Amino acid sequence: MDCPCGKELCNNKTVQENVPLSPLTTFGVGGPARFFVRATTESELFDAIHFAGERQLPLLPLGGGSNLVISDDGFPGVVVAIAMQGITAVEGTGGAMRVTAGAGEDWDAFVQQTTEQGWAGIECLAGIPGTVGATPVQNVGAYGQEVSETIESVRAYDRREQRISDLPAAECAFGYRRSRFNTDEPGRWIILAVTFLLRPGAPPTLKYADLARHFPPGSHQTLTDIYHAVRAVRAAKGMVIDPADPDSRSAGSFFKNPTLNGAQFAELSDIAPEIPHYPQADSTVKVPAAWLIEQAGFRKGQEFGHVALSSKHILALTNRGSASSGEIVAAAREIQRGVQSRWHVSLTPEPLFIGFPENSCLPEGAIRG
């Protein structure tokens, strides 16, 4: 193919035009990328950044496409698939293992490898789709662990200052499903690699009843037992990508669990005294979005055109075949309205919304990627 760029610096063989994005997402929704580059090295990534900069086009780093709702109109700039590989491990202080993985490494395979090595810290995050480099973006979490608990630093390219920085975890502003990468400064950073401090020989984390039920009381579990149990529990909920399971054609949980301040929680518990709730260290209270949705009258499997709530897990919106991004947005807004009107609580979407015009009507609280 001829280089659409015409400039020497753009590593021209790698630039493709009008590449459909829906097959590159787990939702299976979205139009084409105006330009598309697969970066297997940092140098290819910088070429792509240069290519976008020269044309004043927006740039979208793409991992496994598992946390995205892409517009049917596609993305009018340069999509760069992050594919930098490589894992290194060295002993750190106090017996910890310092493990660095390239941003393009597959997250679940990385978790499996570390658990097989006997390094504790991320075993409960098995089965989460996507890449290592995307895990700090929303501080992925499940079954009692979040990546922020084991991340030592994030190596990232700063598009504003045009240089690479090693950001210690304390500078990443990690919170529940948030970080400086998705909230404070979306678009500024491209993550190149992530360094984790794992604990050789430490016992696995087994905090969740769902997971504990998987094992006979009092039994001993290895890290790999937990890895496989988490995958099994997740698969039963459609939360592991499986082409044979239509409930996994999703972006995972579509809404975050709301964290309410004291006054908001008091108001909610007046009308819903039975609601499960989890007090947080910062004196907010987390409540399950799934409970709010179900008790507002929605049901598993409920259809909204070609979109449906998962038949296994009410928090996931799924694409039942030929869903459009507009149908996903409409379904999400209907659920938000239902929960707001029944419980006076706002649900905030978890996935990022890509390529939607500024004036389009997205779900309340949606973050544009």
Ligand X SMILES: Cc1cc2nc3c(=O)[nH]c(=O)nc-3n(C[C@H](O)[C@H](O)[C@H](O)COP(=O)(O)OP(=O)(O)OC[C@H]3O[C@@H](n4cnc5c(N)ncnc54)[C@H](O)[C@@H]3O)c2cc1C
Provide the binding-site residues for ligand X, judged by CB under 6 A. 26, 60-68, 82, 103, 128-131, 133-135, 137-138, 140-142, 181, 189-191, 239, 241, 248, 250-252, 352, 369
Cα atoms found within 13 Å of the Cα of residue 44, Cβ hemisphere only: 19
Compute φ and ψ for 91, nearest 5 degrees: -70, 135
Got the DSSP string for 302-356? -EETTEEE-SS-TTEEEE-SS--HHHHHHHHHHHHHHHHHHH-----B-SEEES-
Q: How far is the CB of 28 from ligand X (least distance, A)?
A: 11
Rounded to whole angstroms, how far apart are CA atoms 369 and 359? 15
Cβ closest to ligand X, residue 131 vs residue 195 = 131
Rounded to whole angstroms, how far apart are CA atoms 96 and 119? 9
Inter-residue contact 133 to 103 (CB < 8 Å): yes
Q: How far is the CB of 142 from ligand X (least distance, A)?
A: 4
- Tell me whether residue 161 is exposed, middle or buried, using C-beta atoms within 10 angstroms of its C-beta: 0 to 12, 13 to 18, 19 or more: exposed
Cβ closest to ligand X, residue 96 vs residue 138 = 138
Q: How far is the CB of 42 from ligand X (least distance, A)?
A: 11
Cβ closest to ligand X, residue 67 vs residue 153 = 67
Cβ closest to ligand X, residue 33 vs residue 68 = 68
Q: How far is the CB of 123 from ligand X (least distance, A)?
A: 13
Inter-residue contact 107 to 49 (CB < 8 Å): no
Cβ closest to ligand X, residue 138 vs residue 325 = 138
The torsion region of residue 51 among left (phi > 0), alpha (psi -120 to 50) and beta comes to alpha
- Tell me whether residue 158 is exposed, middle or buried, using C-beta atoms within 10 angstroms of its C-beta: 0 to 12, 13 to 18, 19 or more: middle
Share of the chain residues as helix, strand and coil, in percent rounded to the nearest 5? 30, 25, 45
Cβ within 8 Å of residue 293, ≥6 positions away: 255, 309, 314, 315, 335, 338, 339, 347
Rounded to whole angstroms, how far apart are CA atoms 268 and 283? 16
Active centre residues (catalytic): 177, 253, 350
Inter-residue contact 104 to 131 (CB < 8 Å): yes
Cβ closest to ligand X, residue 129 vs residue 363 = 129
Q: How far is the CB of 63 from ligand X (least distance, A)?
A: 2
Cβ closest to ligand X, residue 221 vs residue 318 = 318
Amino acid present at 296 = A
